[in-house]
Amino acid sequence: MKKILLVYNPMSGNAAFKNCLDGVIENFQRRGIFLSVYRTCAGDNSNFAECVKMSGAQGVIAAGGDGTLHAVINWLKQNDFDLPVGIIGSGTSNDFAAHLQLDAEKFFDAVANNRTRPVDLGLANGKDYFINVASAGVFTSIAHEVDSRLKNFLGKSAYYLRGLGELKNFRAVPLDITADGQNFSTEAFLFLVLNSPSVAGFKKLSAAAQIDDGKLNLLALKKCSPRNLMALAKKILAGDTIDDDENIFALQAANFTISTTAALTGDLDGEAGDPLPLKIQTLKHVLNFFCP
């Protein structure tokens, strides 16, 4: 019988995944899969590696949002586990799951039949992995500043409400960027380094970003007028890609170094990272992801 470890965050989304747990177990058992369960906590999860070993898991499924998937991947990689990973999107923000457009029944079948695809990861400062996005600047730290109770009650609206409070801090900063050995400079409100094109609930922010091409895509929102900013926001809300917008500085590369004279802290998949500078590498096909 195949063994899978399910890692679930009891606080993700509307904190209701625990009510779905029996159905998830039934779906796996019906496909001949024995499920072990690990419940994350807000504090110490240092026993995760021991639980993976004891479970004899042949794969790990994260049930939660982007932050839960981020944590699971880092725990696995930092403990040298080479196991396929999957996601049951149950968080406030499920950008990576949304990009994959996972159908529930087909996803369970994929896990049972060990159907995976190789995907890239980003590595920040040689120690922190991210699967979807690294960022810094205005708005980018909102995900870990919003109270979990507010997120559970309001969902994505909590991010937007919190974002309104950042308008007073809307200031551009100078960025020095090295991309695969080439040097660039720009002044920007924020930057995103994307693995997938899905960010902040917008499913196709970048036309160029792909999760398995061995490269990452940098989009920096350049200093611009309020009028241009509103025009760009309109494009984003309409679901348009913005790589070629005049207010966006766009680069594609396997390796980036991003620095600034301003005090900025990086953000990885919605989780707090290191202060800049950030040194980011693309690790091609280092993770097998359960996918129909």
**Tens digit of each residue's pLDDT (9 = 90 or more) over 41-96:** 877 898 999 999 999 999 999 998 888 999 999 999 999 999 999 998 765 567 78
Q: Which of 98, 120, 142 represents a domain boundary (last residue)?
A: 120
pLDDT of residue 149: 47
d(CA 152, CA 144): 13
Tell me, yes or no, whether 104 lies in a domain: yes
- The CATH number for 15's domain is 3.40.50.10330
Same domain, 114 and 227: no
* Joined tokens for residue 15: 């904190």
pLDDT of residue 222: 94
Same domain, 144 and 229: yes
Same domain, 72 and 172: no
- The CATH number for 249's domain is 2.60.200.40
Asked whether the beta carbons of 241 and 207 are under 8 A apart, the reply is: yes
pLDDT of residue 278: 97
Tell me, yes or no, whether 266 lies in a domain: yes
Tell me, yes or no, whether 256 lies in a domain: yes
Same domain, 140 and 271: yes
Closest CA to 275 of 96, 70, 128, 65: 128
Same domain, 91 and 143: no
Same domain, 133 and 278: yes
Tell me, yes or no, whether 136 lies in a domain: yes
Tell me, yes or no, whether 292 lies in a domain: no
* Joined tokens for residue 51: 């639980």
Same domain, 7 and 24: yes
Tell me, yes or no, whether 174 lies in a domain: yes
What b/e string do you get for 73-109 counting C-beta neighbours within 10 Å, with b at 16 or more? bbbbbeeeeeebbbbbbbbbbbbbbbbbebeeeebbe
Q: Which of 103, 120, 137 represents a domain boundary (last residue)?
A: 120
Tell me, yes or no, whether 69 lies in a domain: yes
Q: Which of 75, 97, 120 represents a domain boundary (last residue)?
A: 120
pLDDT of residue 15: 65
Length of the chain, in residues: 292
Same domain, 164 and 49: no
Tell me, yes or no, whether 289 lies in a domain: no
* Count of structural domains, the chain: 2
Same domain, 67 and 24: yes
pLDDT of residue 101: 78
Same domain, 116 and 146: no
Same domain, 88 and 146: no
How would you write the pLDDT of the chain (292 residues) with one tens digit per residue? 899 999 998 876 566 677 888 999 999 999 999 999 999 987 789 899 999 999 999 999 999 888 899 999 999 999 999 999 999 876 556 778 778 877 888 999 999 999 999 999 999 999 999 999 999 987 665 454 544 443 444 344 334 434 445 555 568 999 999 999 999 999 999 999 999 998 877 888 999 999 999 999 999 999 988 889 889 888 988 889 999 999 999 999 999 999 999 989 999 998 888 999 999 999 999 999 999 8
Coil, helix or strand for 170? coil
Which residue segment(s) compose the domain that 153 sits in?
Answer: 128-284
* Residues catalogued as catalytic: 271
pLDDT of residue 261: 95
Same domain, 176 and 249: yes
